[in-house]
């Protein structure tokens, strides 16, 4: 059976298929001793694939975790500055990576896995996976601002998709968004004159944070994984 090299790397749990392309460009991946290129194929039964000298084999045991990310922890797969990373919060024999991101100054739910195909699917713009956040702001929130956020606002010269914003308190609200632009909610709030104080994610698609304590993690149930795959 032959598969493209980026899919093979995802099957091995090295990275998502999108991130695998970056690994290929870095030159650290080899097929039968020669540097691998974008578009190469791998014969799973015959070819030997290595990354930084270590042989890679497809990982049939996928793992899925929900993490309640604390403030100050980053959610990128790798960091050259040695900052605390969300992937270090889960003990696993597999190389886990986050599905999507949650910036350093935000808290709450983030998912970790070694299932590259699922990670790629859930982060692809076409799927519009809903994500729910609780937001507190420096300024009081007006009904007009909530209406603008719900209708979509212009950030990065592009209008955001319609959202669902609902007041919690005089300077707090809950919002559901359906895309994952960089620092999207902070920029959305800025565009309507609001300064974010805290940003806490409580839901990703069918997965809810529930009573999971800050800094803790739990494996997803089989039912939750099935629901994610059916999104």
State the Rg of the chain over Cα: 19
Instruction: Note the Cα 205 to chain centre separation in Å.
Output: 12
DSSP 161: P
Distance, in Å, from the CA atom of 58 to the CA atom of 104, rounded to the nearest integer, reads 32
Q: Which residue has the tokens 């889960």?
A: 90
* Nearest partner of 146 among 184, 179, 128, 172, judged by Cα: 172
* Number of H-type helices and E-type strands within the chain: 6, 17
Give catalytic status of residue 79 as yes or no: no
Its sign, for the CA torsion 3, 51, 10, 178, is negative
* Nearest partner of 63 among 92, 85, 86, judged by Cα: 92
Find the catalytic residue in 40, 103, 117, 164.
Answer: 103
Q: Which residue has the tokens 């597999």?
A: 94
Neighbours of 85 (CB within 10 A): 15
Residue 46 structure tokens = 């015959």
Element (H, E) at 76: none
Which of the residues are catalytic? 103
């Amino acid at each position: 059976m032959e598969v493209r090299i980026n899919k093979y790397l995802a099957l091995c749990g090295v990275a998502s298929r999108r991130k695998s392309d970056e690994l290929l460009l870095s030159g650290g991946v080899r097929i039968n001793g020669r540097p691998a290129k974008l578009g190469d194929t791998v014969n799973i039964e015959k070819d030997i694939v290595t990354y930084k000298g270590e042989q890679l084999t497809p990982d049939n045991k996928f793992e899925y975790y929900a993490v309640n990310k604390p403030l100050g922890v980053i959610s990128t797969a790798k960091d050259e500055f040695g900052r605390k990373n969300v992937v270090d919060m889960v003990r696993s024999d597999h190389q886990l990576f986050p599905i999507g991101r949650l910036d350093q100054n935000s808290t709450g739910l983030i998912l970790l896995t070694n299932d590259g195909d699922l990670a790629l699917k859930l982060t692809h713009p076409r799927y519009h996976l809903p994500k729910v956040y609780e937001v507190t702001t420096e300024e009081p929130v007006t009904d007009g601002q909530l209406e603008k956020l719900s209708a979509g606002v212009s950030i990065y010269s592009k209008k955001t998709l319609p959202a669902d914003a609902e007041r919690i308190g005089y300077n707090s609200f809950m919002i559901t968004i359906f895309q994952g632009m960089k620092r999207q909610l902070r920029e959305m709030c800025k565009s309507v004159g609001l300064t974010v104080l805290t940003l806490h994610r409580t839901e990703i698609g069918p997965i809810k944070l529930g009573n999971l304590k800050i800094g803790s993690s739990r494996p997803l149930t089989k039912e939750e994984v099935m629901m994610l795959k059916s999104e």
